[in-house]
Structure 1
Amino acid sequence: MLCGKALLDTHTKVNKEDKDGVGDICIWGRNIFMGYLNNKEGTKDKIDSLGWMHTGDLGFLDDNNFLYIMGNVHDIITLSSGEKINPSPIEEWVRTLIPIVHYAVLVGQYEPYLCALLTLKCQVNEETGEPQDALTNEAVAFCRQLKSHSTRLSDIINNQDPIVTKFISEAINTINREATSESTKIVKWVILDTDFSISAGELGATMKLKRGVVAKMYQPEIEKFYKDD
Structure 2
Amino acid sequence: MRDTQEFFLSLNIPICDVYGLSETSAPHTVNLPDSSRIGSAGRNLTGVRSKIAVLDNDGNGEICMYGRHVFMGYLGLRDETQRTFDKENYFLSGDIGKFDQDGYLFITGRVKELLKTAGGEKIAPLALEDNIKAELPIVSQAMVIGDKRKFLSVFLTLKTEMDIKSGKPLDTLTAPAQAWIEEKCKVSVTTLAQARYLDVLKKEIQRGIDKANLKAQSNAQVVRKFLILPVDFSVPGGELGPTLKLKRPSVVEKYADEIEELYDGH
Q: TM-score range by the shorter chain?
A: over 0.9
Deviation per CA, 1:69-96: give whole Å up to 9, x if none. Answer: 1111111111111122221111111101
- 1:108 and 2:146 equivalent? yes
Aligned 8 A contact 2:144 2:152 in 1: yes
Query: What's 1:11 paired with?
Result: 49
Gaps spanning 5+ residues in structure 2: where? 1-38
Other structure's SS at 1:155 match: helix
Deviation per CA, 1:37-64: give whole Å up to 9, x if none. Answer: 2111111121235431101111111222
2:195 to 153, 156, 173: 156
Between the aligned partners of 2:60 and 2:189, the Cα distance in structure 1 is 40
- 1:134 and 2:180 equivalent? no
Aligned 8 A contact 2:116 2:148 in 1: yes
Aligned 8 A contact 2:43 2:103 in 1: yes
Between the aligned partners of 1:49 and 1:19, the Cα distance in structure 2 is 24
Between the aligned partners of 1:26 and 1:162, the Cα distance in structure 2 is 46
The amino acid of 1:210's aligned partner reads: K
Between the aligned partners of 2:260 and 2:240, the Cα distance in structure 1 is 22
- 1:82 and 2:120 equivalent? yes
- 1:121 and 2:159 equivalent? yes
Other structure's SS at 2:44 match: coil
Deviation per CA, 1:132-164: give whole Å up to 9, x if none. Answer: 10111221221222223111111112x2x2332
- 1:66 and 2:83 equivalent? no
Aligned 8 A contact 2:58 2:217 in 1: no
Could you tell me how far 1:31 is from its partner in structure 2? Answer: 2.7
- Higher alpha-carbon deviation: 14-23 or 172-181: 172-181
The amino acid of 2:193's aligned partner reads: S
Alignment of 1:210-225 (within 5 A): 210-225=247-262
- CA 1:62 to 1:174, structure 2 compared with 1: closer, same or farther past 3 Å? closer
Could you tell me how far 1:223 is from its partner in structure 2? Answer: 0.7
- CA 1:39 to 1:59, structure 2 compared with 1: closer, same or farther past 3 Å? same
Between the aligned partners of 1:196 and 1:202, the Cα distance in structure 2 is 5
Aligned 8 A contact 1:148 1:164 in 2: no
The amino acid of 1:156's aligned partner reads: A
The amino acid of 2:56's aligned partner reads: D
Q: Which has the higher contact order (CA 8 A, sep 6+)?
A: 1
Other structure's SS at 2:189 match: coil
Other structure's SS at 1:38 match: coil
- CA 1:47 to 1:94, structure 2 compared with 1: closer, same or farther past 3 Å? same
Gaps spanning 5+ residues in structure 1: where? none
- CA 1:32 to 1:113, structure 2 compared with 1: closer, same or farther past 3 Å? same
- 1:204 and 2:241 equivalent? yes
2:232 to 195, 206, 211: 195
Instruction: Give the total of aligned pairs.
Output: 227
Could you tell me how far 1:3 is from its partner in structure 2? Answer: 0.1
Other structure's SS at 1:151 match: coil
Deviation per CA, 1:78-135: give whole Å up to 9, x if none. Answer: 1111122221111111101011111111111111111111011111111111111011
The amino acid of 2:168's aligned partner reads: E
Between the aligned partners of 2:176 and 2:193, the Cα distance in structure 1 is 17
